[in-house]
Chain A
Amino acid sequence: MLFVVLLPLLFAFLVPFLGRAKKHIHTGIFVLLVPLIIFIYFIQFAGSNFQTVTKTYNWIPSLHINFDFVLDGLSLLFVLLISGIGALVVLYSIFYLDTTERLSHFYVYLLMFMTAMLGVVLSDNVFVLYTFWEFTSVSSFLLIGYWHFKERSRYGALKSLIITIFGGMSMLGGLILMSTITGTTSIQGMIGESSVLLESSYMPLIIILILLGAFTKSAQFPFHIWLPDAMEAPTPVSAYLHSATMVKAGIYLIARFSPVFVTYDSFFITVTVVGILTLCWGSYMAVRQTDLKAILAYSTISQLGMITAMFGFGTEVAIFAAVFHILNHATFKGSLFMVAGIIDVQTGTRDIRKLGGLFTFMPIAATLAVLGTFSMAGVPLPFLNGFYSKELFFDSAVQGMQWDSSLLTTLIPYVVVIGSIFTFVYSMYLFFGVFGGKKDSHALTAEPKEAPIGMLLSPFILVAGVVVIALMPQFFNSALLSHASEAVFGSAFSEPIAFWHGLNTPFIMSLIVVALGTVLVLTRKKWAAVYRALPGKLSFNRVYDWMIRKMDSTSASITNTYMNGSLRLYLSIIIGAMFMLTFVFMYATNGFTISFDNVAPVTALEMTIVMVIIIAAIATLFMNHNVAAILVLGIVGYSVAMLFVLYRAPDLALTQLVIETVTVALFLLCFYHFPKLKKRTESVRTKSMNLFISIGFGTLMAMIGIAAHSTDWFDKISDYFIETSLPEGGGSNIVNVILVDMRGVDTLFEITVLGIAGLAIYSLVKLKKNKEAK
């Protein structure tokens, strides 16, 4: 199973090579194989006798992070959607993207997403799940920004990334809390430890963090704002990531954790309220849009809200309806996105105000669209799967919830009817706005004609799915859906799904939706003014934009206070911080000690040299002549060499003498170009600050040196070098043996550094400014 999950990622490595032949053969044809293989692999598990499959592959066992793949009913539904819709989307993309596009990039991102999404729905280990989760965000970012030369694409890509990663990080916090409390990293394990978890005082925080992850990913109110902007992605991507699969990851997470939080009512109440709110706001806003894909985006938001709400209800019928609707939504919304893409390609616009009367020009696309939109609207017809799940949704809303709240239980049936009326309105608006009415020949530049057969193939298969699911619901129920709802609720839904239930409350609700919806569609122009009052200027987009602007300007101004280009400030900060940290640490741990035991005797010669060095060093500060300053620096260097002689370091003394000579020569070579040293003209404040920093640092270093000498915590390691120098290094000069033998790699790097320095100097001397080179 690990191989199947990683297959898309592995195949992605081949894509750039296949992409070279794109002039002759479209890269997508090769890529199509991958989702097909995965689909065929997983479809074998489906069936009425399905059993949960568990596979474990070690990754980081010491941290309890392993690829624990659990394929239960819910995961099976998702993997089939991911691979099935994935195959159709790749097929569609072959005709949607022509070979002048950067195909390799597109398919690499898409395959990356496929692995990530499969990983999310199969991982039982919460941290592996999180890893794959963020991978989906990243690949979504790359795909939204696929046409990176468009400003809107970049904006949309960044927005989706910021919002979903914010959610993902919150979720990680929640997952860490949960795994710390329960002592397990497995979701199945957490279900077992659920009672421990629910008693924890961290529960409200855990719920908030986990739900932030789920709501941002599934574009729930008020985080829905990224989804409409994500529509800048190529249409196959919108159909795949932003409608059928990725945006359902949040819903998957809620479903997955439902058994863990099973008796924690506020989890389900929050989910319900947010879901219902999203359902209503999304469908209300969809009617206002003019871009086809924006209508579909808000419609997706609304449908996601509906599924979320159903998981929030938490009853048996609600959860069954939710998984049923996940499947149905993927079929009809996927097909509608593809039809929208076809219209875009064939007419050159997605603006619904310019479109109209396309039924006669594109009869096949129109037929597909009519089935898709009517299914989405929940029109009571026996061959539309959307009606079945909508009916079950009404049923679950009327039947009451798993939790107690009399206010919500009474309100919800009315609210869902209002939300569904708007769903009906935008579905009709979408279909009749594009295909009904008369063609506006002025608005369209090209004469619209039917799309090529290959492009119609994928939406056709999806629409066929709409009809087949509606006609044979029992088959899908026993093979797939009952296992999925069992995985969430614990027991399978037993009632048969049928078109005709009798004239019960859900059916009456459906009729009300259709009746009122039709009235609203016909009078749309009259009440459209309501959008000027609500949302009017209220928009979470404004909040988002304001936050981004503020974050940008605030961080820029903070950075500019300390990254102001002044070397002096940088040095002061670095050395000041070093001084403070070390001093406080040494002081707190009683690190400063002075001991006069075991010191070498002081001789007059050494003292003389020390005095010379100190005088010469201080003199560099007061020299106002270049050559004088350089020579004084030379005095320091040569005196240090003399100290090396006295302290029995012949190699050091030799090297120091040579290097000092070369350095002084180099200084003198360059000094000609240096302007004359000037008297310092800083303010007293700057001077005293400099003085404070340098004296502080000097004192600190002196004290560390004394303390290091005065303490005797460790044995010296030098004895090892002295003993092994001759027998193992084969040399009697211990220092040399250390350098070339025992620490040979160090010396190699040292030579490398010198080489790089040489190259840098060469290019600095030779390099001319660009204008001179030209």
Chain B
Amino acid sequence: MEIIISILAGVLFAVGIYNMLQKQLLRIAIGTGLVSHAAHLFILTMGELKRGAPPIIKEGITEYTDPLPQALILTSIVISFGVTSVVLVLAYRTITENDTDNMEQLRGNKYE
């Protein structure tokens, strides 16, 4: 299963990056979201999957799932939420100010 999840993460990375390489702002925002999902799954597989109980200590249980990737992912989820919201609002402002969502038209002046 770890191998399948690794491949799944790879697919999500590929699709996310492909979205980010597009011109339209919304696609770039979607790409950012997909890449963070990919990263979370990627980190999760680093610890082994489905070994032991959820990492909540209980009497009589000695085997727990690796808690460290979970802690890292938890931080990451919150941070990527922050990033996604900034990207979205930035995109919103850019579009309302410049009347375009095309990155090629937002390139600024040459030799600026």
Which residues of chain B from 74 to 112 have any CB-CB distance to chain A below 8 Å in the complex? 74-75, 77-79, 81-86, 88-93, 95-97, 100-101, 103-104, 106-108, 110-111
A567-B107 Cα distance, complex, nearest whole Å: 8
Report whether B14 and A697 are in contact in the complex, using a CB–CB cutoff of 8 Å.
Answer: yes
Decide yes or no: A718 and B66 within 8 Å by CB, A675-B95, A701-B9 being known contacts.
yes
Give complex CA distance A693, B67 in Å: 33
Q: With A600-B2, A694-B15, A726-B57 in contact, do A655 and B85 touch (Cβ < 8 Å)? A: no
Residues of chain A from 623 to 669 with CB closer than 8 A to chain B in the complex: 626, 629-630, 633, 636-637, 640, 643-644, 646-652, 655-656, 659, 662-663, 666-667
Contact partner, A617, options B12, B46, B65, Cβ 8 Å: B12
- Asked if A649 meets B70 with Cβ closer than 8 Å, knowing A560-B110, A620-B34, A673-B96, the reply is yes
Q: Which chain A positions have C-beta within 8 A of B14?
A: 694-695, 697-699
Judge whether B56 and A734 touch: CB under 8 Å: yes
Q: Is the interface of A mostly helix, strand, loop or mixed?
A: helix
Q: Across the interface, which residues of A come within 8 angstroms of B55, CB to CB? A: 648-649, 722, 733-735
Q: How far is the CA of A602 from the CA of B103 in the complex (A)?
A: 42
- Asked if A408 is at the interface (CB within 8 A of a chain B CB), the reply is no
Contact of B49 among A600, A620, A636 (CB under 8 A): A600
Query: Is the pair A594, B3 in contact by a Cβ cutoff of 8 Å?
Result: yes
Which residue in B7, B24, B88 is a CB contact (below 8 Å) of A702? Answer: B7
Chain A residues whose C-beta falls within 8 Å of the C-beta of B20 in the assembled complex: 571
Partner among A571, A630, A757 whose Cβ is within 8 Å of the Cβ of B85: A757
Do B75 and A621 touch (CB < 8 A)? Answer: no
Over the window 432-476 of chain A, the binary record of Cβ atoms lying under 8 Å from chain B Cβ atoms (1 yes, 0 no) is 000000000000000000000000000000000000000000000
A621 in contact with B19 (CB, 8 Å): yes
In the complex, A613 Cα to B34 Cα: how many Å? Answer: 10
- As a 0/1 sequence over residues 738 to 774 of chain A, the CB contacts with chain B under 8 angstroms (1 = contact) are 1100010011001001100110110011010100000
Please, could you name 20 A-B residue pairs with CB atoms under 8 Å apart, sorted by A?
A599-B3, A606-B1, A626-B26, A648-B52, A651-B74, A652-B77, A659-B78, A674-B92, A680-B23, A694-B17, A698-B13, A702-B10, A709-B2, A718-B47, A722-B57, A722-B67, A735-B67, A735-B70, A750-B75, A764-B90
Using a CB–CB distance below 8 Å, which chain A residues touch chain B? 556, 560, 564-568, 571-572, 575, 594, 596, 598-603, 606-607, 610, 613-614, 617-618, 620-621, 626, 629-630, 633, 636-637, 640, 643-644, 646-652, 655-656, 659, 662-663, 666-667, 670-671, 673-675, 677-678, 680, 682, 690-691, 693-695, 697-703, 705-706, 708-709, 716-718, 721-722, 725-726, 732-735, 738-739, 743, 746-747, 750, 753-754, 757-758, 760-761, 764-765, 767, 769
Closest 9 CB pairs of A and B: A702-B10, A698-B14, A705-B6, A565-B107, A757-B82, A694-B18, A694-B17, A732-B57, A738-B71
